[in-house]
A = this chain, B = another copy of it.
Amino acid sequence: MTMQAATRAFDVSAARKDFPILDRKVHGKPLVYLDNAATSQKPRSVIDALTKFYTEYNANIHRGVHFLSQQASEAYDAVRGKVQRFIHAGTEREVVFTRGTTESVNLVASSFLKPRLSAGDVVLVSAMEHHSNIVPWQMACEACQASVQVIPMDDTGTLDLEAYRNLLTPAVKLVAVVHTSNSLGTVNPVTEMTALAHEQGIPVLVDGAQAVAHGPVDVQEMGCDFFAFSSHKMLGPTGTGVLWAREDLLESMPPYQGGGDMIASVSFEKTTYNEIPFRFEAGTQNVADVIAFGAAIDYWNGLDRAAAAAHEKNLLAHATSSLESMNGIRLIGRASAKAAVVSFVAGGINALDLGMYLDTQGIALRTGHHCTEPVMDFYGIPGTLRVSYLFYNTNEETDLMIRALDRGISLLSG
């Protein structure tokens, strides 16, 4: 990519036209959707893919000899290749469809970690993990008298790599770290962190739930062993997501759930399992949503991602400086490498009250702990307000939010 390409302006109004929901009103006001870290909105092509599937070729897959089943199977199977190319995986066989990031992490905790875990062992996570990248490890560790240890961060929300290095002891059986934090916006140096873990022979899982929507991902370059993400946060439907795992590790893992399609043959005496990745996809697959997820990847491929990233950088800079210039606002998370996510608290004002006021103005943002309670405990706050952007957002939306925030703060201080 040339500098030229990267600096070509992103055509945000064209992009907005692809997202039907962005035209709607809320409480009589135009919707300002700034809750993208919770879930993204969907382009028309994704919604149409669902309609097309159900009106034209809905069928159960992989075992049907008839045309609809064939068409559905091909469409479903083709998405595996799309995912492979999207994250630059070595082969399709490394792509497992799951319900989403949470299930991907649970699958690794159950099929990879648990059989390798003994008393005294350690799973290393960072201080800014989402509950979905904490609780599955706690559950696995509890069952084996192992423990979860924490890579500390500083007040800006930056991980302490020196401390991390020292934590990489032989007891560590896995490092599980978030690529892009959903509550702080921090982008962690996962490539470097993976390399450090690998020096000690420790495998690494990267939680990519937020990362995939904010820039290209290359799992081979990153070097990690597992990469988990959700369709719904990257323009696709709810109900599906991906576990990418290195082929040799996946081969070594026992199945997670049992049922149809994950078997080679079943008898009451002896059941043998299918090959990877099918071994990990028991039961009727979420066919429609996987196919629509494929449409979401097509949408990303049609987007000028460099320009979109530059646009998001601009959104982040504008939101940060606007909020900084307001009285009583304290930004939570000031890492130098940050995605377009801004958390803040407004003096002594209750975040929910303020969030509700913004809602009366049609502005959707999130308040609370964002499923990262340990982060809130770290900062000694019950929660934050969080604005989180995607390429279809505008600085005008930020300005509307800032004005409403201002009014809300005076109302609630009164």
**A320 adjacent to chain B (CB < 8 Å):** no
Q: Do A288 and B239 have beta carbons less than 8 Å apart?
A: yes
**B-contact bits for A86-106, CB 8 A (1 contact / 0 none):** 000000000000011111011
The answer, among B35, B258, B261, B266, for a CB contact under 8 Å with A69, is: B35
The answer, among B139, B268, B289, for a CB contact under 8 Å with A134, is: B268
Bound: A394/B23 CA distance, A? 43
**A118 adjacent to chain B (CB < 8 Å):** no
Q: Do B259 and A63 have beta carbons less than 8 Å apart?
A: no
Q: Given the complex, which residues of B lie within 8 Å of A27, measured CB to CB? A: 67
Bound: A207/B367 CA distance, A? 41
**A150 adjacent to chain B (CB < 8 Å):** yes
A123 CB to closest chain B CB, in angstroms? 11
Interface centre among A47, A54, A103, A366 (most CB of B within 10 A): A54
Q: Do B367 and A136 have beta carbons less than 8 Å apart?
A: no
**A232 adjacent to chain B (CB < 8 Å):** yes
Chain A contact residues, CB within 8 Å of chain B: 20-21, 24, 26-27, 31, 33, 35, 38-39, 41-42, 46-47, 50-51, 54-60, 63-69, 99-103, 105-106, 109, 130-132, 134-139, 148, 150, 230, 232, 237-240, 255, 257-263, 265-268, 271, 282-289, 352, 355-356, 358-359, 362-368, 370-371, 373-374, 377
Given A59-B35, A255-B139, A366-B63, A42-B54 contact (CB < 8 Å): yes
The answer, among B47, B58, B67, B130, for a CB contact under 8 Å with A50, is: B47
Q: Do A373 and B59 have beta carbons less than 8 Å apart?
A: no
Bound: A130/B263 CA distance, A? 12
Chain A, interface SS category: mixed
Given A20-B55, A47-B50, A139-B258, A66-B364 contact (CB < 8 Å): yes
A314 CB to closest chain B CB, in angstroms? 24
Q: Do B132 and A260 have beta carbons less than 8 Å apart?
A: yes
Interface centre among A31, A132, A136, A358 (most CB of B within 10 A): A132
Interface centre among A21, A238, A367 (most CB of B within 10 A): A238
Q: Do B364 and A59 have beta carbons less than 8 Å apart?
A: yes
Q: Do A66 and B131 have beta carbons less than 8 Å apart?
A: no
Q: Do A132 and B266 have beta carbons less than 8 Å apart?
A: no
Q: Do B24 and A102 have beta carbons less than 8 Å apart?
A: no
Q: Do B239 and A103 have beta carbons less than 8 Å apart?
A: no
Q: Could you list some 14 contacts between A and B, CB below 8 A?
A: A21-B55, A35-B66, A35-B69, A38-B69, A51-B51, A65-B356, A102-B257, A103-B259, A106-B282, A135-B258, A239-B289, A266-B374, A267-B377, A286-B289
A243 CB to closest chain B CB, in angstroms? 13
The answer, among B63, B131, B285, for a CB contact under 8 Å with A260, is: B131
Q: Do A41 and B58 have beta carbons less than 8 Å apart?
A: yes
Q: Given the complex, which residues of B lie within 8 Å of A31, measured CB to CB? A: 68
Q: Do B136 and A238 have beta carbons less than 8 Å apart?
A: no
